[in-house]
Chain A
C-alpha cells in the first residue's frame, strides 16, 4: 500500500490544476489519455488515499485528489501530536478558568463553527468576528479574517490561547503554569505528551500545546463531499457552471480545490494571500467599515485595504451559518441575494450606508441577474460541498465521552 507520498502528491497536483483551469470533463479526458498512453513511469493511482509518514491520521481521500498541505519544518506532524492535540482541543482545562475549550466555538457537527453571529470568550467578552470553520484550515493562505502577515497556524493559535483583546481561552502570564499543571497531573496526558514530544525532558509547555493543536487542526481535511465523489444532482451541476461563470464571478475569490483563492499547498511556490472587500458596509459614504471590523486596513492602515477580508473556503458552507466576518447575514440564500445585488445597502441605523457603492469593493462583486431557478441551482451546488463524513469522522470527534464510558 505504501507509495512514496511525494510522488503521489506531485501527480495529484497536476490533475488538480487541470481540473480547475479547464473544466471537469476535459480534465477527466486528460487523465484518461494519460492512463491510456501508458505513462509507464507514473505511479499515480487515483484509487489511493495518501498520507504523510508517521501521520496516518492526516488523510487525503482518493476522490478529493488534494495535494498535501504544507507542514512547517519546526513542527513535523505525527499521529501522537494529532492525538494529543485532539484531546487538548476538546478539553476545557485549556482555558484559564476551565470553562471553555476550542470546541466551544468550533463544533464538529457544524464543520467546526458555533452557529452564532459572534462568539463569547471564556471571560464573557463578545468577540467582534464570527467563529470561522476549521475545514481545511491547513491550506489557509493566511490566518484570521483579515491579517495579511499571519501566515503560520502556530502563530495564529496563540491568539485564541493567550490573546487579551479580547480574552478567548484566557491563558496569561499569571496562570500559564497552573494550566500546564492540570495536564501534568493527569496520567493520560502524561502519556500523550511524552509520546507526542519524546525528546523533551519536560514536554508540558505552552509551545508544545500549540504544536499539538496545530497538528490536530491540520488533520481536519474535508474532501469527501458529494462534489468530490461526483454524486451531484443535475441542479447542482448547473449551479457549478454558474459558479464558475463570468456572469456570477464567484470563482474569482473562491477558486481552486478549496474554494478559496487564499489557498496554499506543499507545492505552492508563489503564494497568493488575497483579501477582498465585498461591499457589506459603506459608512459615511467614504467606504468605511464599522470601527472594530475594518479588515486588512487594521493591519496595514492603507485605505485600499478598508473592509478587505480573506475569502473563506466554501466547503461545508451549508453548515456554517450565519455568514460573513461578523455573522451579519443569516442564510446562504441571503448571501446569494447580496452578491446578486453587488453588495448590501443598509438603509438605517448606526451602520447605514450603501455597500454597493463602497469605493474599495472588489470589481468582481458587481452584481448579476439571477432567476429563482438559478439561485436554487447555486444553492444546490454549495450544498454539494457539504462533507457528512467530515462532520461525523471519529478521528475528529471529542475523545472524552467514550473514554469515560470505558
Chain B
C-alpha cells in the first residue's frame, strides 16, 4: 500500500446527542487520524530508497537512506476549534494504544528492517467526549511516552509498551522515537534520569525529557493527515558519517550529531525542552 498517500480519514460519527439544554449538548465523536511517513517525495519503506537523497553527505548532494526502523510513540493528542479550548482525544484501547499512548509503526520487518515487527500501524483511533459538532481546525500532540508511563516494568507492561525494540534499557525508559537507517540511528528518549535521595528509585525530575509537542493550525480536518518527513528531519545532517558518540543521535546532549537534529525537532539539545523558538519551529511534521 502507498504510505505516501496522505489521505486523512477523520471520521466523525454522531453517536449520542442528548442533554438538558441546547448549551450542554453531550456529543461523542469517533475520530480516526491517518498518519504517514515519507522521505521527501517517497514513502518510508524498508530497504534502500535509491531514488531519494537526503542530508548533507556526499559533498552536499545527499545520500540514499537504507531504512532499518521507523517507529514512534505519540501521546497527549488534543484538538480544538479556532478559538476553543483543546480537548483530549481519548485513545481507544487496543494493541497499538494504551493509556492514551499510541505506537506508530512504519516498518514491516522486511529487508533491512529484519529486526522489527511485521505488523504496521498508521492510524490513531479515539473518541472526543462532550463536544458540540463544531469543526476542529487545530491539532496538538506529543512525540514520546509520558513521564508517568515511561518507566513501567517492561516485564509486566502491556502492548504497545512491551515491545523490546522500543525499550531503552540504559536510560530506564522507552525510545520515544526510533528512526534507524543503516549506519545512522536516531533514538529519541528521555535522558539524564538519576536515582532519588535514597539511591533506590528513578528520579527524572531534572532529566532531559526530549518529548517535542507540536501544534498545527488551520488544519482541514476532513482532508489531511499527519505526515512525518525524514528528509526534512535530517536535512542538516550527514547520515553517512559518525561524527562522534553513537552513530547518529541517541539523544546524547554531547553527541555532535544531535545538535542539528534537535534543532529540526524543535528541541533544545541541552535541556531537552522545546527550543526557545518553540517546538513548532520544527518543519518535519506537517498535515497534508
Q: Are A and B part of the same complex?
A: yes
B169 within 8 A of A: yes
Compute how far the CA of A148 lies from the CA of B199 in the bound complex, rounded to whole angstroms. Answer: 9
- Which A144-195 residues have a C-beta within 8 angstroms of B? 144, 147-151, 154-156, 158-159, 162-165, 171-176
- Assess whether A291 is in contact with B155, with CB atoms less than 8 Å apart: no
- Assess whether A172 is in contact with B164, with CB atoms less than 8 Å apart: yes
Option from B115, B170, B254 in Cβ contact (under 8 Å) with A172: B115
Could you mark each residue 276-301 of chain A with 1 if its beta carbon is under 8 Å from any beta carbon of chain B, else 0?
00000000000000011000011111
- Assess whether A207 is in contact with B199, with CB atoms less than 8 Å apart: no
Beyond A149-B194, A154-B155, A301-B192, is A173–B164 a contact (Cβ under 8 Å)? yes
Option from A144, A163, A207 in Cβ contact (under 8 Å) with B155: A207
- Within the complex, what minimum Cβ distance (angstroms) separates B244 from chain A? 5
Beyond A149-B172, A149-B202, A270-B198, is A158–B153 a contact (Cβ under 8 Å)? no
A314 within 8 A of B: no
B109 within 8 A of A: yes
- Within the complex, what minimum Cβ distance (angstroms) separates B160 from chain A? 11
Could you mark each residue 119-147 of chain A with 1 if its beta carbon is under 8 Å from any beta carbon of chain B, else 0?
00000000000000000000000001001
Nearest CB to that of B248 among chain A residues? A165
A210 within 8 A of B: yes
Compute how far the CA of A165 lies from the CA of B114 in the bound complex, rounded to whole angstroms. Answer: 15
A341 within 8 A of B: no
- Which A200-215 residues have a C-beta within 8 angstroms of B? 206-207, 210-211
- Assess whether A159 is in contact with B169, with CB atoms less than 8 Å apart: yes
**Best-buried of B163, B170, B185, B194 by chain A (most CB within 10 Å):** B170
- Assess whether B153 is in contact with A173, with CB atoms less than 8 Å apart: no
Beyond A158-B154, A174-B114, is A165–B250 a contact (Cβ under 8 Å)? yes
- Assess whether A163 is in contact with B169, with CB atoms less than 8 Å apart: yes
Beyond A173-B116, A270-B199, is A150–B253 a contact (Cβ under 8 Å)? no
Option from A151, A165, A211, A301 in Cβ contact (under 8 Å) with B195: A151
- Assess whether A299 is in contact with B192, with CB atoms less than 8 Å apart: yes
A363 within 8 A of B: no
B245 within 8 A of A: yes
- Assess whether B191 is in contact with A158, with CB atoms less than 8 Å apart: no
Beyond A149-B202, A176-B164, is A301–B172 a contact (Cβ under 8 Å)? no
Could you mark each residue 154-170 of chain B with 1 if its beta carbon is under 8 Å from any beta carbon of chain A, else 0?
11100000011101011
A19 within 8 A of B: no
A198 within 8 A of B: no
B117 within 8 A of A: yes
- Assess whether B199 is in contact with A273, with CB atoms less than 8 Å apart: yes
User: Which residues of chain A are within 8 angstroms of B118 by Cβ–Cβ distance?
Assistant: 174
Compute how far the CA of A171 lies from the CA of B164 in the bound complex, rounded to whole angstroms. Answer: 9
B149 within 8 A of A: no
- Within the complex, what minimum Cβ distance (angstroms) separates A163 from chain B? 7
Option from B117, B193, B253 in Cβ contact (under 8 Å) with A173: B117
Compute how far the CA of A301 lies from the CA of B115 in the bound complex, rounded to whole angstroms. Answer: 29
Compute how far the CA of A156 lies from the CA of B164 in the bound complex, rounded to whole angstroms. Answer: 13
- Which B92-120 residues have a C-beta within 8 angstroms of A? 109, 114-118
- Assess whether A173 is in contact with B165, with CB atoms less than 8 Å apart: yes
A234 within 8 A of B: no
User: Which residues of chain A are within 8 angstroms of B165 by Cβ–Cβ distance?
Assistant: 162, 164, 172-173
- Within the complex, what minimum Cβ distance (angstroms) separates B246 from chain A? 6
Option from A150, A162, A291 in Cβ contact (under 8 Å) with B172: A150
A333 within 8 A of B: no
- Assess whether A174 is in contact with B172, with CB atoms less than 8 Å apart: no
- Assess whether A271 is in contact with B199, with CB atoms less than 8 Å apart: yes
- Assess whether A291 is in contact with B170, with CB atoms less than 8 Å apart: no
Nearest CB to that of A141 among chain B residues? B199
A74 within 8 A of B: yes
Number of chain A residues whose Cβ lies closer than 8 Å to a Cβ of chain B:
37
- Assess whether B245 is in contact with A291, with CB atoms less than 8 Å apart: yes
- Assess whether A150 is in contact with B192, with CB atoms less than 8 Å apart: no
Beyond A174-B109, A291-B245, A301-B254, is A162–B164 a contact (Cβ under 8 Å)? yes
A369 within 8 A of B: no
User: Which residues of chain A are within 8 angstroms of B198 by Cβ–Cβ distance?
Assistant: 270-271
User: Which residues of chain A are within 8 angstroms of B167 by Cβ–Cβ distance?
Assistant: 158, 162
A272 within 8 A of B: yes
- Assess whether A301 is in contact with B155, with CB atoms less than 8 Å apart: no
Option from A151, A173, A270 in Cβ contact (under 8 Å) with B109: A173
Option from A144, A173, A297 in Cβ contact (under 8 Å) with B163: A173
Option from A155, A158, A301 in Cβ contact (under 8 Å) with B164: A158
- Which B185-219 residues have a C-beta within 8 angstroms of A? 185, 191-195, 198-200, 202, 208
**Best-buried of A149, A270, A297, A300 by chain B (most CB within 10 Å):** A149
Option from B155, B192, B202, B244 in Cβ contact (under 8 Å) with A210: B155
Nearest CB to that of A208 among chain B residues? B155
Compute how far the CA of A300 lies from the CA of B169 in the bound complex, rounded to whole angstroms. Answer: 15
Option from A150, A165, A173, A292 in Cβ contact (under 8 Å) with B185: A165
- Assess whether A300 is in contact with B185, with CB atoms less than 8 Å apart: no
Compute how far the CA of A163 lies from the CA of B252 in the bound complex, rounded to whole angstroms. Answer: 17
- Assess whether B200 is in contact with A271, with CB atoms less than 8 Å apart: yes
User: Which residues of chain A are within 8 angstroms of B163 by Cβ–Cβ distance?
Assistant: 173
Nearest CB to that of B244 among chain A residues? A291
- Which B105-155 residues have a C-beta within 8 angstroms of A? 109, 114-118, 153-155
Q: List 28 A-B contacts (CB under 8 A).
A: A74-B153, A149-B193, A149-B194, A149-B195, A150-B172, A155-B169, A158-B154, A158-B167, A158-B169, A159-B170, A162-B164, A162-B165, A164-B115, A172-B116, A173-B115, A173-B117, A174-B109, A174-B118, A175-B115, A176-B164, A272-B199, A291-B244, A297-B254, A299-B170, A299-B191, A301-B191, A301-B253, A301-B254
* Additional A-B contacts beyond A272-B199, A301-B208 (11; CB < 8 A): A74-B155, A144-B170, A149-B172, A149-B193, A158-B164, A172-B165, A174-B116, A174-B118, A291-B245, A297-B254, A301-B191
List residues of B whose CB falls within 8 A of some A CB: 109, 114-118, 153-156, 163-165, 167, 169-172, 185, 191-195, 198-200, 202, 208, 244-246, 250, 252-254
The 6 closest A-B pairs by CB, nearest first: A172-B115, A173-B165, A207-B155, A162-B164, A173-B117, A271-B199
